[in-house]
Every structure is written in structure tokens, then in C-alpha cells.
């Protein structure tokens, strides 16, 4: 009998955790495991706010895929996936066509601009490690240019962050720490810099405990960050953003940097894959398979699962992606052996939102925590992700140990 | 009798060396010494090619003025000089008007664009520490942007350096070392990067020994740097530069970065000062005074002195500026005491042109040197400038000791 081919698309939290679990469960002769990823590295998408603000270097937020896979069991292909067709079982990539017996789609999120004019062109997005690096360099270039120009345009020093959700707030937390450093490095008076968070919804961090949210806003405001809440961005231009402040009231914020951190969606390849989806996310079966395609699993940001307790989707977090991956690896092995698959049951350990290196808010095992305690917990969570994928060696190499 | 006021404009090599020598020679009750400088720091203008390429951090190429002046003898004023009038003895600055009994003008060089269209707008210039920082950040931003864009514009990775004189070659030497690092940091394939040196004159490093020049060009070419010699830049645009290759033959080089390193002139304030000048440089008397103004001394890049041996002006180097400053300090003291001034006699110790951290060419005490030996000599020269201005403490703080 021919060995089955397990094809995993994407080396994010979901895809990579699937592979490292498969390589433990499957013998080298039992299956061909192929991992396809655009880059030869994995990056910590939950750390990108730090790389974007410049508080971590890009190389600190990524590691080589080959450092965590067992190359005697897994074939790694560095390629971009161009198209997925689950009806013909054909996957088109920049390194040629692949087919599979079992497919795992872990292609991650894309930014969602909600059709707002100019955003895709004039706003930067914390989308991946390259984009994060560009945001850092863009801000630094604005500061450098301000320092040299004869007629100084203070708007160069204005940073608009669109979105007061998880990504926006974590990025603002890093900026709050980074701005004073930048001012020193570039000889810029602190009072010239303006950081404005613009949010369409009437609240910051929806879903978080209101007392924790209040703490977060107070801490960020104490670092000089301004909030404009309930004021949607209606347009981005090369000069800044136009926001809607009332029925017929608009305000233009001139800004050298606009970072869009509001809303993510699934990978667009899902939409033409033949799988039923909603904005590129697939409402998966209880065992993580795509409805109607018993040989296709979806992991991470492209998977949509409803938390029935609150009747809302689970948030697309690294924590859940990695838990899903463990179940998916087991279920593939079960299918190969002709056994029953098991149901995925998320174990929600809590959520911590960073507010910069030494501050955070968190809801962990039902306990509300703030400040240093929450910040330590955040690092524990970050380190746990490293440990789950690469064990102690990766943890020692890439872990966050400054508390 | 009223104490005379000695006003020194500029804290470059010339101005600052004048002040540190004056504070040794003059008692606190003998004169008021005022130093006016735009920034509260001195920067090593001979190290700017390193800051521009990113091989030294901006803070490594500068130090605080207050670290080297004796504040009981020297009053430091951080201000921009707006106008000099030697007929009325009025110096207008952003901190008000000053007058003087003795004036020392050490306002340094400005870039010379020879009226070439677009250069002032679209080319960056290694003019000062802020400009150097901007060049570094500009190049990094181009690399970062290339890494993120969907349709990659390889011209972003092309750097045109205008000028194959001292500044241009030293900058190219640093780029030769920095580009491989940048490629690694930004995931850019080395072969995508293009560095082109464009020079109007028919030769590289005019005035240098031809064998040394040949060595320099070979070394830089081995690092992938291209030379286009005898081909003037006729226009700069937002997209790159147009160069003249023959009678009616032009070539457009598309480039994300254009750095203009060809030609310097004196500070433009000289031109409206009332002193006779040629392109803002003053042909000084033998004792460094401005012709017709016995209370005005010119030091450094704004001073023009003919080397009668070769009937050509001395090059505007840090070495000569500091030697001039020593003579100027002595001559001011002589004038206060009613004594004769002395003639300035340059002691040319040699010239070393860096080709990156571990390589250089030099003509030192009549000996031609290359490679590591020349590179060590270059660091000795750089360290000597620190020692002459700030003694051992400054040398230890800012010296270059990695050989």
C-alpha cells in the first residue's frame, strides 16, 4: 500500500505545531509529510507589535523552520501557495504542483480594510515580519527626516494607529516605551510627537473586563497616547487620515505614519478553494475538518469555531491554533489507522494584553491581573509557545527572560 | 580696561580646537570666550560616511561640547548663526545678537550641487550627523519596503553615489561591508542590490597615487560596486539619475537612493559677511586672518590656502583645520598682548582614505600603504583628532580601538 502524503500549508503556530506533533506520532515509513511555507522561517505573529515599534529586532521574533522539524521525517518546501483546489486535490505553488491524501491549511490571517478608501495604499499593516520591519523603519525614517529638514513638518512625528483592539493596544504599548528612546536617538523634543489611536467602535478592547480596559487606557494616556473612540476612519491619504466625529463632522489628522491594526480575516486563497467559507474563514467540524472534505483540516486563523457558551467565535489566537494543531495531528494518525477522530475542545487558559515591556492586563484562569504580574504572565505565554513547538532548545534560544 | 570678547562660531574641528587651545592659554580674567554652535554636540565630520552607511551609530560619531570645554572660561551658546556682518561687528543668531573683539569663523562646509537639476531635492547628502542618519534610515527603509511589496521594484535596492572623490570612496567602502549585512537583515538576495558610483571627472580620487587608486577601485569592485567614470550626472529625479555617457548619449539609472558626495564649498553666510570670498571660502592671510579685517580669523573649510609647492589649494581636511586652530588661538593671545602674530605652516602628515573597516589606502610621510596597515593608520588619525580636542578621557570614550 502506498504511503499517504500529508501536506501542511503554512508554518505559523497552527501548521508548525501540526508538523512537530505529526513527526512524533508518525514513523518515517508510515507517511510522507510535506510542509510548504513562503519563508524558511517561522515568525511569532503575536510578537509583531514589538518588531513594528522597534522594541524587538526582526531576527528576535523569528526562527528557522529547519531548527524544529525532523528532516528525516518531514520534507520542507520553501514556496508560495498560489491556489488551493480541494475538489481536484491540486495545490499550485511557486515550486510546482502538489497533491495530498491529507491536507492541513494553516495559512494565517490577512488584514481587513473594510473597503475604506486609501487604507491599502497609504496605511502600513502589522501583517508579517517584513511588514513589521517596514513600520519600524518608516517611523525611524520620519524622525530622521524631521531632524534634517530646514522647514520642519511636525506631522512627520504623528503616528495614527487605527484600531483599539488587541493588536492596536499592544502596538501602542510598545510605542509608549519606544517614543522616548526615538526622541533621544533622533534629537526630537518629546512634545513634538503625537500618537493617536482611532477606533470606530465605541469601546477599547471589546470583550475585556471594563476595569482592566480602564487601567490600560490610563496607562497608555500617561505615556502621552491620545484616544479617539467611536470615530471611524473614512479615508486615508498620503497626508494622513480623515475621521468621522459626528453626523456631518469630520476631522483630518495629518500624520507621517498610519498603521492599520483593526480587523483580520482569513487567507484569500480559501475563497477560491472550493470550501464553504465566510470572509476566508471556514466553520470547521468538531474534529477540525472542512465541511464536506473529510481529508482537509483547517487550523488557526482560517478556522472559525463558535464558543457556544457565549455564542461568539473563539478569537484567532496562537494558543487556540496550537491546541487545534495537536488534535489535528492525532486525528490524521487516527484516519490513517482507520480509527475515529476526536473532537477538539479548547482549553482557554486566559488572555493577556501587553502594554509595553513591563506592563500588561490579563484575565488568566478567571483572575484579573495588571502591571508587572500580568507582564510576567505574558512572557510565560510567549515562552510556552516556543516550548510547545521547539522544546527546551528553542526556548533557550528565543525565549523572553528579562522580567 | 574692558576684557576682550573672543567669539567663536562653530564647534567643528576648527572652532572647537580653537576654543580648547584658548582655554589653556587665556586666564579666566583675561578674556570672555563665547562659543556658538547649532547643536550641543560636536560631530566627527570625517566619520559621517560610516554613520551614513550604518556601520557606526550616530551617537558614536558625536560627543557633547560641554565634555571638552572648561565652563569656567568658556560660555557655550547653543544657537544657529543667521548672519555675519564684519563691518558692523554684529553677529545675528537664534539666541540674539553678539558682538566681538576677535571673531573666529569655523562654520564648515556645505554641499555643492553645481546647479544640477533636482539634486538638491532628490539626492541625499552626507552633510552632517542628522543627514547621515537619514541616509542610513532611507536605505534601510528601501530594503524593508522591497521585502514587503507584492510587486517588487528592484530599483529600490539600487544606490547611486555621485562622486568618486574622498567622501564618495569612503562611503562606498562602508557600503561594500554593509550591503551583505543588510541583505541578511532584510532577506534580500545579494545579487538584487546594485551600487553604482557616478563621477564626472575622468578619474577616481584625483590627487592620489595612481597605484593606490587602482588598488581602491579593484577592492571596491570585488565587493560588487560598479564605477561609471567620466559620466556627469545631468539630472536627478524622484526615480533616479540621468547621466551623460557621450556627446548625445544619456543613460537613466533608476535608483531608490541617490547620495551626492561630490564637491563641497564654504558656508553661505560668508558670502554676505562683507569678507571677500570665492564660493564662500576666504583666501586668508598667512596668519589666518581675513584680508582687510585684522580681528577676524577663518578656520577650516571656509578658509582657502594655496599650497605653493603644487600651486593648488590645500584640501579641506580635519587635520589642517585643527593645525590652523592651534595657530589662531596663539595669534589671538598675541594680539591681546600686543605682540606679533605668527604664520600658519601646515605639517602634512599624510592622507588615508578608508575602504571599509579593515581596508584603506594611504600616503603617509611619503610612504604608500594599503590594506590592514593603512586601515590601522586611519584609526590612529581618527583617534588623534579626539585626543587633540578632548585629551585621554575623550579618546577612551569615543576612540576606535578595534583593529
B368-388 average pLDDT score: 91
Is residue B256 located within the same domain as residue B269?
no
CB contact at 8 A, B160 and B260: no
A402–B contact, CB cutoff 8 A: no
Alpha-carbon distance A37 to A15, whole Å?
A: 9
Quick one: CA dihedral B156, A45, A271, A330, positive or negative?
positive
Domain boundary among A348, A371, A395: A348
Residue bearing cell 487550523? A299
Q: Is pLDDT at B284 greater than 90 in this prediction? A: yes
Q: What is the pLDDT of residue A1?
A: 63
Assign B234 a pLDDT band (cuts: 50, 70, 90). very high
Please give the torsion angle defined by the CA atoms of residues A107, A365, A378 and A213, in that order, rounded to the nearest 10 degrees. 90
* CATH code, B20: 3.50.50.100
Nearest to A22 by CA among A37, A11, A33, A10: A33
Residue bearing cell 457558551? A309
Assign A312 a pLDDT band (cuts: 50, 70, 90). confident
Rounded to a whole number, what is the distance in Å from the CA of B94 to chain A's nearest CA? 14
Which residue is closest to A134 within chain B, CA to CA?
Answer: B144
Q: In the annotation, is B112 catalytic?
A: no
- The pLDDT > 70 percentage for chain B reads 99
Q: What is the pLDDT of residue B270?
A: 97
Is residue B368 in a domain? no
At B241, list the grid cell: 539619475
Is residue A191 located within the same domain as residue A237?
yes
CB contact at 8 A, B28 and B119: no
E-strand stretches of B171-266: 194-199, 225-229, 233-237, 240-246, 249-254, 257-260, 264-266
Rounded to a whole number, what is the distance in Å from the CA of A206 to chain B's nearest CA? 30
Is residue B66 located within the same domain as residue B123?
no
CB contact at 8 A, A355 and A53: no
What would the pLDDT profile of A328-382 be if each residue is shown by its tens digit? Answer: 999 999 999 999 999 999 988 888 999 999 999 999 888 999 999 999 999 888 8
Nearest to A363 by CA among A345, A382, A378: A378
DSSP conformational letter for B161:
E
- Residue A43's DSSP bridge partners are A62
A242-266 average pLDDT score: 94
Q: Which residues have CB under 8 Å from B174's CB, separation 6+?
A: B49, B50, B52, B53, B54, B55, B354, B356, B357
- Residue B306's DSSP bridge partners are B313
Domain boundary among A232, A260, A288: A260
What would the pLDDT profile of B316-374 be if each residue is shown by its tens digit? Answer: 899 999 999 999 999 999 999 999 999 999 988 888 999 999 999 999 888 999 999 99
Nearest to B89 by CA among B73, B78, B105, B75: B105
Is residue A270 in a domain? yes
E-strand stretches of A74-199: 74-78, 81-85, 90-93, 96-98, 102-105, 109-111, 124-125, 158-162, 194-199
Rounded to a whole number, what is the distance in Å from the CA of A57 to chain B's nearest CA? 10
CB contact at 8 A, A81 and A36: yes
When CB atoms are compared, the residue of B134, B143, B148 closest to A148 is B134
Cα dist. B114→A344, A359, B253, B313 in Å? 72, 54, 20, 19
Assign B93 a pLDDT band (cuts: 50, 70, 90). very high
Number of domains, chain A: 2
Is residue B366 in a domain? no
Chain mean pLDDT for chain B: 94
Neighbours of A306 (CB within 10 A): 11
A314–B contact, CB cutoff 8 A: no
Largest interatomic CA distance in chain B: 75
Cα dist. A297→A66, A325, A331, B182, B310 in Å? 23, 9, 9, 39, 81
* CATH code, B229: 3.50.50.60
Provide φ and ψ at B153, rounded to 5°. -100, 100
Is residue A401 in a domain? no
Is residue A240 located within the same domain as residue A184?
yes
What would the pLDDT profile of B29-73 be if each residue is shown by its tens digit? Answer: 899 999 999 999 999 999 999 999 999 999 999 999 999 999 999
Is residue B237 located within the same domain as residue B130?
yes
What SS3 class is residue A383?
helix
A111-126 average pLDDT score: 93
Task: Give DSSP secondary structure letters for A121-145.
Answer: HH-EE--SHHHHHHHHHHHHHHHHH
Assign B276 a pLDDT band (cuts: 50, 70, 90). very high
Which residue is closest to A130 within chain B, CA to CA?
Answer: B148
Is residue B179 located within the same domain as residue B88?
no
Is residue A107 located within the same domain as residue A131?
no
Is residue B130 located within the same domain as residue B253?
yes
CB contact at 8 A, B214 and B174: no
Alpha-carbon distance B301 to B266, whole Å?
A: 6
B228-241 average pLDDT score: 96
Rounded to a whole number, what is the distance in Å from the CA of A61 to chain B's nearest CA? 12
Q: What is the pLDDT of residue B403?
A: 53
Nearest to A35 by CA among A76, A78, A5, A6: A76
Residues of the domain holding A241: 119-260
Is residue B358 in a domain? no
What would the pLDDT profile of A74-115 be if each residue is shown by its tens digit? Answer: 999 999 999 999 999 999 999 999 999 999 999 999 988 899
Is residue A93 located within the same domain as residue A126?
no
Q: What is the pLDDT of residue A403?
A: 53
Please give the torsion angle defined by the CA atoms of residues A386, A392, A393 and A395, in that order, rounded to the nearest 10 degrees. 40
At A245, list the grid cell: 466625529
B133–A contact, CB cutoff 8 A: yes
Q: Which residues have CB under 8 Å from A18's CB, separation 6+?
A: A8, A104, A106, A297, A299, A325, A328, A329
Is residue A381 in a domain? no
Assign A211 a pLDDT band (cuts: 50, 70, 90). very high
Alpha-carbon distance B115 to B228, whole Å?
A: 21
Is residue A180 located within the same domain as residue A99?
no
Is residue A98 in a domain? yes
Alpha-carbon distance B46 to B403, whole Å?
A: 18
> What is the CA B296 to chain-centroid distance, rounded?
23
Is residue A123 located within the same domain as residue A236?
yes
A179-197 average pLDDT score: 96
- The pLDDT > 90 percentage for chain A reads 82
Q: What is the pLDDT of residue B316?
A: 84
Are B134 and A147 an interchain contact pair (Cβ–Cβ within 8 Å)?
Answer: yes
Is residue A378 in a domain? no
Q: What is the pLDDT of residue B310?
A: 76
What would the pLDDT profile of A17-46 be if each residue is shown by its tens digit? Answer: 999 999 999 988 899 999 999 999 999 999
At A149, list the grid cell: 529638514
Is residue A67 located within the same domain as residue A137?
no
B148-167 average pLDDT score: 95
B185–A contact, CB cutoff 8 A: yes
Alpha-carbon distance B42 to B66, whole Å?
A: 10
Domain boundary among A260, A279, A297: A260
CB contact at 8 A, A359 and A374: yes
Q: What is the pLDDT of residue B1?
A: 63
Which residue among the candidates A44, A50, A170, A199 is catalytic per the annotation?
A170
What residues of A are in contact with residue B189 (Cβ under 8 Å)?
none
Q: Where are the alpha helices (DSSP H) in A283-342?
A: 318-336
Amino acid at each position: 500500500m502506498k504511503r499517504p502524503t500529508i501536506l501542511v500549508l503554512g508554518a505559523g503556530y497552527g501548521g508548525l505545531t501540526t508538523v512537530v506533533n505529526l513527526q512524533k506520532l508518525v514513523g518515517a515509513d508510515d507517511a510522507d509529510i510535506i510542509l510548504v511555507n513562503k519563508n524558511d522561517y517561522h515568525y511569532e505573529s503575536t510578537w509583531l507589535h514589538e518588531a513594528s515599534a522597534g522594541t524587538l529586532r526582526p531576527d528576535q521574533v523569528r526562527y528557522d523552520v529547519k531548527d524544529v522539524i525532523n528532516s528525516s521525517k518531514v520534507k520542507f518546501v520553501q514556496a508560495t501557495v498560489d491556489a488551493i483546489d480541494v475538489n481536484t486535490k491540486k495545490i499550485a505553488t511557486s515550486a510546482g504542483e502538489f497533491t495530498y491524501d491529507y491536507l492541513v491549511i494553516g495559512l494565517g490571517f490577512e488584514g481587513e480594510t473594510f473597503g475604506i478608501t486609501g487604507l491599502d495604499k497609504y496605511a502600513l499593516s502589522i501583517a508579517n515580519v517584513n511588514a513589521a520591519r517596514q513600520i519600524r523603519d518608516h517611523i525611524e525614517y520620519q524622525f530622521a527626516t524631521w531632524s534634517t529638514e530646514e522647514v520642519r513638518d511636525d506631522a512627520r512625528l504623528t503616528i495614527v494607529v487605527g484600531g483599539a483592539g488587541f493588536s492596536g493596544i499592544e502596538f501602542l504599548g510598545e510605542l509608549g516605551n519606544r517614543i522616548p528612546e526615538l526622541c533621544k536617538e533622533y534629537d526630537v523634543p518629546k512634545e513634538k510627537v503625537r500618537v493617536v489611536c482611532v477606533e470606530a467602535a465605541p469601546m477599547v478592547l471589546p470583550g475585556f473586563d471594563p476595569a482592566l480596559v480602564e487601567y490600560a487606557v490610563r496607562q497608555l494616556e500617561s505615556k502621552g497616547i491620545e484616544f479617539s473612540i467611536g470615530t471611524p476612519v473614512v479615508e486615508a491619504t498620503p497626508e494622513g487620515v480623515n475621521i468621522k466625529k459626528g453626523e456631518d463632522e469630520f476631522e483630518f489628522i495629518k500624520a507621517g505614519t498610519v498603521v492599520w491594526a483593526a480587523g483580520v480575516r482569513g487567507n484569500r486563497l480559501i475563497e477560491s478553494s472550493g470550501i464553504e467559507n465566510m470572509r476566508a474563514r471556514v466553520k470547521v467540524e468538531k474534529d477540525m475538518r472542512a465541511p464536506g472534505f473529510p481529508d482537509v483540516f483547517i487550523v488557526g486563523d482560517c478556522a472559525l469555531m463558535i464558543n457556544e457558551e457565549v455564542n461568539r467565535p473563539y478569537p484567532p489566537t496562537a494558543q487556540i491554533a496550537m491546541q487545534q494543531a495537536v488534535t489535528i495531528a492525532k486525528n490524521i494518525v487516527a484516519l490513517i489507522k482507520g480509527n475515529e477522530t476526536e473532537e477538539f475542545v479548547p482549553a482557554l487558559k486566559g488572555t493577556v494584553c501587553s502594554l509595553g515591556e513591563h506592563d500588561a492586563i490579563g484575565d488568566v484562569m478567571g483572575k484579573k491581573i495588571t502591571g508587572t504580574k500580568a507582564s510576567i504572565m505574558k512572557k510565560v505565554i510567549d515562552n510556552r509557545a516556543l516550548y510547545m513547538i521547539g522544546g527546551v532548545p528553542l526556548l533557550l534560544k528565543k525565549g523572553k527572560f528579562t522580567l
